[in-house]
Structure 1
Amino acid sequence: MQRRTLLEKADFACPIVGTCLTISELRRICRKFGDLVPESASAYEAHVFLVGQAKLPGSPATKYLQKYLDKKYRREIRAFFKTEDEATLRRMWRERADAGDVPGAFWALMSHPGATDSLLRDVYGEVHMLSHQVGAANRADLARLAHLEDKLAEANAALDESKVVLRQAVAVWKSRCHKAMEELGLERSKRQAAERERISLRDAIEHSAVAAVRRDRDILSDQLRENTERLQATEAEAARQAVLLERLHGELQTTRQELADRDSEVAALEASLFAALGEAAVAHAAHAEHHRDDLAPHEEHLHGQCPVDCAAKAGLCPARAALAQGLPPHTAITGKRVLYVGGRASLVAHYKVLAEKFGCQLLHHDGGREQSAHRLWELLGCADAVVCPVDCVSHEACTLVKQACKGCLKPLILARSSGLSSLARSLAELGAPAQ
């Protein structure tokens, strides 16, 4: 829908200009058109000029006034433009008129394409009568203003008289306060003198010889009682500590004896283990002799005819070493390097001998006691599998081994103890064929 222009509503130009523009806006718009309206012109003359221009087709003043009103009341125009219903437009006009927002709503209705003539006549009549009522109200307000100015002058005169009386009262009050402050100062000086005298008398009594002796006696009595109680508590604690030390000494002797017995048992078990490993080797040799046909494809290793280049490796061929010891020639760790992290230093040589019986090479790291973590990384790089006894290794080394084996996808066995039997089980688990 095309909105109606000011030229189309030329019959309502007078109320539109008079209602929708303030006096300052009226003069400012007239000044934009040069000498058409002189500076000394009254507000009425400026109003008549713009109303006349609004009725001329193609007038620059009319075009400018149209744009100015559309920009000033764009919010109201958008609100009214959303509906075409006459009842809704009347309701919106009534709400804004009751709220005192007449100019914007008036221009929005006058330029609305769907506003009927009856609605526009009603709104125009209401605005027209409102202007008369405003004029009458202004005259009444001027009369009331004159009356109020007279009453204000009387009130100002009464106020001046009250100020004079109040100043006199304040002067009297200040004089009395000054006198009271002087009396208060004299009274305060008297009380301070009395307080100083009381303090001097109390000090004289407290510093007398009798008071000093009594105070020293009480202090010494309290100190003696405290020292006696402290001595008794110290003696009781010393007796308790002596009994505790004696009991701990006996437990230490018992523990040492049990440790020596355990070491003997461990040595015996390790000897038994080596003997059992020797018997296992003999049994494997007999088994290999019995199944010579199964081992025939591997005899070429014993005659220097390996299908792979074993000469590039240090030592004998792993399969040949396994056959020489009576172990199965092909296990998962045959010829591999197994890294043992932690354990007891006194068993390192036995660890390596046991690993040789399984046909693999044992690399050892003490788990961080003396060797560095950098050395552990080097050994992890060249190892094919890792065994770590959890009872004899540092927490940092164990964590490092777990992370490295997980990242490199290397087999890792966490043995429950650092003994030879535990290592043998771990190597057997690594050498077992995959299921």
Structure 2
Amino acid sequence: MQRKTLNDNAEFACPIVGTCLTIAELRRICRKFGDAVPEAASDYEAHVFLVGQAKITASPASKYLQKYLDKKYRKELRMFWKTEDEAELRRLWRERADAGDVPGPFWALMSHPTATNELLRDVYGEVHMLSHRVGAANRADLAKLSRLEDKLAETAAALEDSKLVLRQAVSVWKTRCRQAMEELAAERTKRQAAERERISLREAIENSAVAAVRRDRDILRDQLMELADRLQTTEAEAGRQALLLERMHADLTKTRQELADRDSEVAALEASLFAALGEAAAAHAAHAEHHIDDPDGLGDHHDQPHACTGDCPCPAGGCRRDPAAAGSSLHLVGGGLAGKRVLYVGGRSSLVSHYKVLAEKFGCELIHHDGGREQSSHRLWELLGCADAVVCPVDCVSHEACSLVKQACKGCLKPLILARSSGLSSLARSLAELGAPAQ
């Protein structure tokens, strides 16, 4: 619904401007539009100018006044906007008017989109009569002001009489103060004599207490010497502790340096191991590619173990299938990992990129699930559905994920290897076991 504007309420522009704006606001708004209203103009002339501008459609003054009233009375606008019922609007108006709040509710009703003409005229009539009552009250206030001025003159005369009496009282007070100062001087003399007597008594008491003070001094001196000895012992112990801390700090620095050296050696060894594993993976891939069954000769070699020819690229110059692995569910169908997807559940997140590179060297694609640390079990089910085999390191995976993987692989008859550790060498052994050709 579109709210009513000042142009829509042109017939009520006079009471809107006169009721919803103070004289200071009226003057300030008129000054924004140049010399249309001179500074020497009366409040009535400024009111007439702004009312006339409010009736002009799309005039700058009308637009500015509309925005100014909406901003000034936004609280009342929100209150009245919540209802469209005429009875409820009357109730809100009556409640706010009885509380003495007229300008905001008056503007909210005049701009309300569903307010009827009858309601607007009733409210306008109340505001109009209220202005008459205010005028009558002002005239009564003027008469009262005249009476108060007469009373003020009488009060001023009485005040002058009171001042005269007060001057006389001040004179009497000064005489009494002078007498009091004389009495105070006599009292001060008596007090000085008493102070001298008090000092004499204090000296006598101090002389009688000298022996007791000396005894206390000797006791305190002995205690001070004892404390000095204890302080010296404590400082020596603190020195020994500081020396011990320095030695421990030196040992810690040395240990950290040795640990850094060991870390460097471990990194170098891991790099060497990674390179060796890559060569082994390449050899396994070449071996699997060499032993792909010929589609035309499946019947001839189905029941016989395969033996390498002289051209076999195996590292040992020939290959054999492990008889103990024949028929094991840990081997992929068809042998080899080329083109397969291996799901790695758990492990260390810092090694995921190395896991994937190692799997590429075995000719397969590795997909990873963190075992429940951040990824959900629903995501694990999705990855299990598209994986050909699963590797799960038991040292770095949650019990929930491990149990879920076991159940899923058992139900889907997918190869599952539970690796002892999450290191690269353990993953390489698992991939080699999965890629070993079945006998």
If the TM-score is normalised by the length of the shorter chain, which range does it land in? Answer: 0.3 to 0.5
TM-score, normalization by structure 1: 0.44
Structure of greater Rg:
1
